Amino acid sequence: MIGRIFPLQKGFSLIRVVVVLALLGVVALYFLPHIGGDTLSILNQISGKIKVIVNTLVSRISGLWGSLSGKLEGYTTKMSRTIEELADKWNLKKISQLVSGVEEEWQSDMEKLIAVSRARGFDMSHVERQFDEYQAKEVSWRRVENSYWEDIRKQTQDKITASIERFRTRSLGCSDFAVELKTIWDIEQQFNQDTLEGYIDASESADRLLQPRSVAFLEEFLEWLAVAKVYPPSGSWTNDWFMQRLRQAIPSATESTIPDYPNIIKQIDSQVNRTPHPIYRILGDVTIAEIYLNYDLVNPAEDRFDEAIRQLSEIVGRYQSTYNLSSLGLHMALGLLHERVCKNADLAMKEFKDVVAIARRLGLRCEDYSIVHYHLGIINLHLREGKEVRPTFEEASSAYSGSTQELLAPTPTPTPLPPTPTPKPDPIEISIKIPRALETASPSGTRPERPGPGSGTPPAIRTPVPQPVATPVIVPTPVPTSEIQIVPQPGRTPYPGLVKGTIPPGERRPERDIRLRPRPELGPSLKMKRFSIGDLYDLSRIPDDAIREFELYLKCHSQGERAEIARFIHGKYHGK
């Protein structure tokens, strides 16, 4: 009778409407004593509470499903192991191979993967627990390996995100950004290789992005003090007293312990306070500031930088009307300090422009001072004022479509080739030869000897005196590279040569003997969205001043990372 009075209309009936209203009424009666306000706020509160209930139900259901799938997988694994053992016992080789597949090779590879990843700094505790469960016949090999690649990707992703965020927000330690930009480009390519080696390289690149490159900066700073003839010049700064203290104090990628940097800082202060010479104090403050930067101690680092700038500014003030290499080197050193502190770009630009004016007054070749134009171009870009950038990761299909058997095939051992010399990266473009007439000579007429590695005192230096205008003789000389060589640390890891650059000729890295790619049947992997300079800086707003400085730099230098950066920005400027 009711059905005749209220016929069905396109899929819903009065009964359905009544049921829905009843449910809404129950929900309203349940939440009514706990809410208050106008109609809109009441609806919002009800909606929020419903979302909480739904999310809780979804979470519990997913947890229950995960638990059930884990138990089911354990039963399946135990059953397959039992069948395999029975097949081996009854000499049924075909059935045994069908059930076991390639698990023996897999177990050997998995042990090597875990050991190498742990030695490279990845946390393998979760994977090791699952591997123990696999050996106890509780989980399958597929779950262990899937967890391994998920952990590797997640840890690398977290490190990349933290490194880029730290690079964007670092309040001290600014420089020309060439190395940092190149590193950011490399990270995307390395991560998207979807291999163990790619994740290792991306993780190491992310670590390098966090490092303030203090050794490279101090070396460049020392070079310009040598050009100014206020610090003994040297063919290599490896044995320099301040450089040795800095290397001892900053953390190393090959060491697991933190150096006793507070004690090293006390040694530097004690040594420089024994002499009234301001150059000692300036170098001491700069070295200590760089040590603080490596431990993210921003305030004490800034205090040291400010004191070094104050003292160096007083020395530069004596050369305001003097045009020689001494004034050129001092202005350049002061500009580098202002750029390093990142507080006032105008002060750095003023010093760099003074360097250009002095160099042109002296008639120097552009190759001898064009690096100043590069610094001016980078400062005019205002990179630190760009938008906040965070790398984006998204799921993508596996980059490898081969079969499991192909993945597990042994890697052929290549014929060892004779070692070839590694080309050195482009050195810092400081190629000014100090005129012999302006060099500091010892009483015997020879250059003062520099202290050895065990020396406890910095080298002797003379008081700078403003020099009259002289016609310099410019001879280009090579300058040592600023790269830090990685020294092998014996006994640090269970596998020799795990740090790049420490493999003896003819030997192989342990990663070469194991499978480096995830299996295609493990599902999609993470891909990092392409990250370029356009993400760090709005390329549609490149200033004309920056392009002019880059053009002046490119007229004298066409190779190296800095030239690549300058040429890229120059092309974007003319193509916008």
Scored b (16 or more CB within 10 A) or e, 269-280 reads eebbeeeebbbb
Residue 417 vs residues 413, 507, 543: alpha-carbon distances, Å: 12, 10, 50
Q: What's the angle, vertex CA 63, arms to CA 57 and CA 65, rounded to 5? A: 100
CA–CA separation, 164 and 160 (whole Å): 6
CA dihedral 278, 281, 287, 288 (to 10 degrees): -150
DSSP state string for 206-245: HHHHHS--HHHHHHHHHHHHHHTTSS---S--TT-HHHHH
DSSP state string for 23-37: HHHHHHHHHGGG--S
What pLDDT, on a 0 to 100 scale, did the predictor assign at position 342? 85
- In terms of Cβ atoms closer than 10 Å to its own Cβ (0-12, 13-18, 19+), residue 222 is buried
Number of H helices, E strands in the chain: 21, 2
What pLDDT, on a 0 to 100 scale, did the predictor assign at position 27? 66
CA 27 remoteness from chain centre: 52
What pLDDT, on a 0 to 100 scale, did the predictor assign at position 19? 76
Q: Residues in the chain, how many?
A: 576
* pTM value > 0.95: no
Q: Are 393 and 527 in contact (CB under 8 A)?
A: yes
CA–CA separation, 221 and 243 (whole Å): 11
CA–CA separation, 345 and 370 (whole Å): 19
Q: Are 303 and 188 in contact (CB under 8 A)?
A: no
What pLDDT, on a 0 to 100 scale, did the predictor assign at position 348? 94
CA–CA separation, 548 and 536 (whole Å): 21
> Tokens in use for 379?
């400062």
What pLDDT, on a 0 to 100 scale, did the predictor assign at position 177? 67
Q: Are 198 and 368 in contact (CB under 8 A)?
A: no
> Tokens in use for 69?
């799938």
Q: What's the angle, vertex CA 243, arms to CA 238 and CA 245, rounded to 5? A: 125
Q: Are 565 and 553 in contact (CB under 8 A)?
A: no
CA dihedral sign of residues 180, 182, 187, 190: negative
Q: Are 265 and 289 in contact (CB under 8 A)?
A: no
Report the candidate in 553, 560, 238, 554 with the shortest Cα–Cα distance to residue 425. Answer: 560
CA atoms within 13 A on the CB side of 396: 15
What pLDDT, on a 0 to 100 scale, did the predictor assign at position 486? 28
Q: What is the DSSP letter of 559?
A: S
Residue 390 vs residues 163, 168, 491, 528, 537: alpha-carbon distances, Å: 10, 9, 38, 11, 13
Write out the chain's pLDDT in tens, 576 residues: 444 444 444 445 667 777 777 777 766 666 555 555 555 566 666 666 676 777 777 777 766 666 666 666 566 666 665 655 554 455 444 444 444 457 777 888 889 899 999 988 899 999 999 999 888 878 888 888 889 999 999 999 999 888 888 877 778 888 666 677 778 878 888 888 888 999 999 999 888 888 888 999 999 999 999 999 999 876 788 889 999 999 999 987 666 688 999 999 999 999 999 888 899 999 999 999 999 999 989 999 999 999 999 999 999 998 877 889 999 999 999 999 999 998 888 999 999 999 999 999 999 998 889 999 999 998 888 876 666 667 778 777 665 555 555 545 544 444 455 555 555 444 434 344 433 333 433 333 443 444 444 456 777 665 444 444 443 333 333 333 333 232 333 333 333 333 443 444 444 555 555 767 787 777 777 787 766 666 666 777 889 999 999 999 999 988 887 888 888 888 888 876
Which three-class secondary structure state does DSSP give residue 12? strand
Which three-class secondary structure state does DSSP give residue 72? helix
Residue 375 vs residues 344, 365, 379, 385, 547: alpha-carbon distances, Å: 14, 17, 6, 17, 12
Residue 496: CB atoms within 10 A of its CB come to 16
Q: What is the largest CA-CA distance in the chain?
A: 125
Give backbone dihedrals phi and psi of 558, rounded to 5 degrees, phi first. -120, 0
CA–CA separation, 554 and 42 (whole Å): 66
Q: Are 358 and 323 in contact (CB under 8 A)?
A: yes
Query: Three-class SS string for 407-472?
Result: HHCCCCCCCCCCCCCCCCCCCCCCCCCCCHHHCCCCCCCCCCCCCCCCCCCCCCCCCCCCCCCCCC
